[in-house]
Amino acid sequence: MLKGGRSLERGVSLRSGARVEDALERLGHEPLPIDAGGDLVKRLVAEQPDVVFVAMHGPGGEDGTVQELLEILGLPFTGPGVAACARCIDKVLAKHELRGDGVPTPDWFAFNETAFRELGAADALGELEQRLGFPLVVKPSRGGSALGVKFAASWFEVPEALVSAFSYDERVLLERFVEGRELAVSVLGGEPLPIVEAIPGDGDRYDFEARYEIGRTGFACPAELGEAEAAAVRGAALGAYAALGCSGFSRVDLILGQDGPQVLEVNAIPGLTDTSLLPQAAEAAGMSFEQLVEKILELALKPAAA
């Protein structure tokens, strides 16, 4: 049971890990929790586990780093492989993949810090208004949850938003803001689970705080959608899952706007806390948390089943 680590989502990961660990015990397994740190490889070699459950979020645990180590050690692990993790964690790379495969995703520009510091990229930002319009969303390319995500309502707010986003990653994207319903489709072994809709309370944006606080955000599962709408959303989600090469499980976040669903990002290892969307979706599909955990393990041990 790998959890914790050094990423900013450490706290969330510890909560995900605690829930999974408990479910594993109830299922009769013998989970060994490891807070991923400097002794990770040593401990894995010493313990030789049958399978590694990766409940880590953010850079380090969700970006292919830990997965690469597990492959070197020849240990089966849960969730997507190295390549899929690396694509999902990097929103810019992921969006290129999605576009390449014809999966709808909002228009964007991407910049790294060097472009501004050394190449005068600020002069190119004038293109933004025509191409993306305002408001636009500024976000770090790598970084989970909504940390560092800012909305810029006008030119005036762009530099400040960029400074914030660059605090989390050396590459940021500026994305067209798509108004619409916020949906999440969890995919388990290639099959979509019921669609969850996030309904922000008090006009709150669906932000980091709301994501992890019980009662701050309302959820509807399954989301109330027409059959055609639901099919389009599921189609986009499965397209994204395939385009990024995911396996095991993942969660696709989308906006359902006027022109249909647009994929915002794919979380290679979505949260498994009390307020997380994947467990809620599984429950709506009639799966208990234990059954969900068991299924994830099965998929890790028999990848062909995916």
Active site residue 25: no
3 touches another protein by CB under 8 A: no
Active site residue 267: yes
| Pairing, β 181-188 against β 191-192 | antiparallel
147 touches another protein by CB under 8 A: yes
212 touches another protein by CB under 8 A: yes
Active site residue 43: no
224 touches another protein by CB under 8 A: no
For residue 87, what are its two tokens? 């694509």
Question: By CB under 8 A, what part of segment 48-87 binds another protein?
Answer: 64, 68, 82-83, 86-87
Active site residue 259: no
Encoded one letter per residue, x for contact with another protein by CB under 8 A and - for no contact, window 174-203 reads: ------------------------------
217 vs 47: CA distance, rounded Å: 40
Question: By CB under 8 A, what part of segment 264-293 binds another protein?
Answer: 274-275, 279-280, 283-284, 288-290
**Looking at beta carbons only, is 110 or 226 nearer to another protein?**
110
CB of 8 to another protein, least distance (A): 6
**Looking at beta carbons only, is 39 or 127 nearer to another protein?**
127
75 vs 94: CA distance, rounded Å: 26
Contacts of 186 (CB under 8 A, 6+ apart): 192, 193, 196, 249, 250, 251, 252, 270, 277, 278, 281, 282
Catalytic residue among 186, 212, 247, 276: 212
Q: Which segment (48-56, 116-124, 224-232, 255-263) binds another protein by CB under 8 A?
A: 116-124
CA separation (Å) from 187 to 29, 67, 200, 267, 274? 24, 19, 23, 10, 18
Contacts of 113 (CB under 8 A, 6+ apart): 166, 170, 171
Site for another protein (CB under 8 A): which residue of 10, 139, 181, 251?
A: 10
Tokens 């605090």 found at: 167
CB 298 within 8 A of CB 281: no
- Report how far Cα 190 is from the mean position of its chain's Cα atoms: 16
**Looking at beta carbons only, is 209 or 224 nearer to another protein?**
209
**Looking at beta carbons only, is 254 or 273 nearer to another protein?**
273
Q: Report DSSP state, residue 202.
A: T
163 vs 143: CA distance, rounded Å: 15
Question: By CB under 8 A, what part of segment 243-262 binds another protein?
Answer: none
**Looking at beta carbons only, is 229 or 274 nearer to another protein?**
274
* Catalytic residue set: 9, 145, 212, 251, 253, 265, 267, 271
